[in-house]
Amino acid sequence: MSALINKVRPAVSQDRRTFLATGLAASAALVTASLSATEKNQPMDVSQLGKTPHTKFAVNIEMWWTKLPFLDRIKKVAEYGFPGYEFWPYEDKDHAAIARLNDELGLECTQFTAWGFEPGMNNPAQEARFIAKIKEACGVAKKLKIRKLTVVAGNNQPGMTQDAMLAQVTTALKKAAPIAEQHEVMLILEPMNGRVDHPGHCLYGSADALRICREVDSPMVKINWDLYHMQITEGDLCGHLKEGLDQIGYLQLADHPGRHEPGTGEVHYNRVLRQAFELGYRDFVGLECIPATTELAAAQGVAAADVW
């Protein structure tokens, strides 16, 4: 039987097999050593936790180290060895200080929120304001060397049907697309979930988001594919990733229930991250999750999820 398996198995060079085995063993050893040091209450080097073998993770610093000043949270990202981070509103931030710190620490800020829940992009009366905001946000993004901006469709508008709201989202994004293309900054539209976090929103799951982005038909308008929201709304994470690959601009994650780090809930993130990797996704995965206990434990859970 083993001879038959060897005949049909794709050829893999010994050097590559050794390289992969060594890398995975090193990753597993790092996680094991980290957990052991924690259990024994010993000091440990956290600087390697974010240097994961397959996936580039970006810490959401609106959810991690929240008791620290904003710029100190960015320093923590580098301290833990993560290559990137993300945040939410940009209006209340010191952009010059952020840019200096990114250069100093060698970090990438992967995305921020350019347009949130209220007032909705799904409201025709807000269209001009939305376009102006995208112009402003793209300017900030270029200064910070940020390649992607999250936009949110909006909460339900009184007197508007679901179809009308989503049609307005499509219209608004079509008008914003040339701005994004000119600045070479991608707008990533984020569907939410209504069962736990965002009841009364107008965009849930992948189907409507895919339809909108395919109709807009711009390389700079894609989906912020938050796996946490997708799990709650529709499940079948691996299957939907494959079906929507052409419109995925960015991935985020959190486990469910709880919205904590991988390993705390029902999602087998080792398999989901492997699926994204095998489909060819090589950009950042945002850690928009709340540490269940400590940031150290959360980083350990993230590192463990990238071992397969």
Q: What is the pLDDT of residues 137-155, one digit of tens each?
A: 999 999 999 999 999 999 9
Predicted confidence band at 11 (pLDDT cuts at 50, 70, 90)? very low
Q: Judging by DSSP bridges, how do beta strands 248-253 and 56-60 pair with one another? A: unpaired
Confidence of residue 12 (pLDDT cuts 50, 70, 90): very low
Q: Give 241 or 19, the one with higher predicted confidence.
A: 241
For the chain, give the mean pLDDT: 91
Greater pLDDT, 5 or 253: 253
How far apart, in whole angstroms, are the C-alpha atoms of residue 83 and residue 101?
13
- How high is the pLDDT of residue 32? 52
Average pLDDT over residues 290-299: 98
Q: Summarize pLDDT for 50-81 with one digit per residue, the tens.
A: 999 999 999 999 999 999 999 999 999 999 99
Flag whether pLDDT at 123 surpasses 80.
yes
Give the per-residue pLDDT at 18. Answer: 45
Please compute the mean of the pLDDT values over residues 177-195 and round it to a whole number. Answer: 98
ω into 191 cis (within 30 of 0): no
Check if the beta carbon of residue 48 is closer than 8 Å to that of residue 37: no
Digit-coded pLDDT (tens) for 36-54: 555 555 567 999 999 999 9
Q: What would the mean pLDDT of 10-26 be, rounded to a whole number?
A: 45
4 band by pLDDT with thresholds 50, 70 and 90: very low
Provide the CA 48 distance to its chain's centre, in angstroms. Answer: 20
Count of C-beta atoms within a 10 Å radius of residue 37: 15
What's the pTM value of the predicted model, to 2 decimals?
0.88
pLDDT at 211: 98
Quick one: pLDDT at residue 10? Answer: 40
Residue 253 has pLDDT above 50, yes or no: yes
pLDDT at 25: 52
Mean pLDDT of 276-288: 98
Task: Name which residue leads in pLDDT, 32 or 167.
Answer: 167
Contact 208, 164 (CB under 8 A): no
pLDDT at res. 44? 77
pLDDT of residue 197: 98
Quick check: 85 and 98 in contact, CB under 8 A?
Answer: no
Rounded mean pLDDT, 252-264: 98
Q: Are 194 and 201 in contact (CB under 8 A)?
A: yes
Alpha carbon distance 205, 286 (integer Å): 18
For 208-251, the pLDDT digits (tens) are: 999 999 999 999 999 999 999 999 999 999 999 999 999 999 99
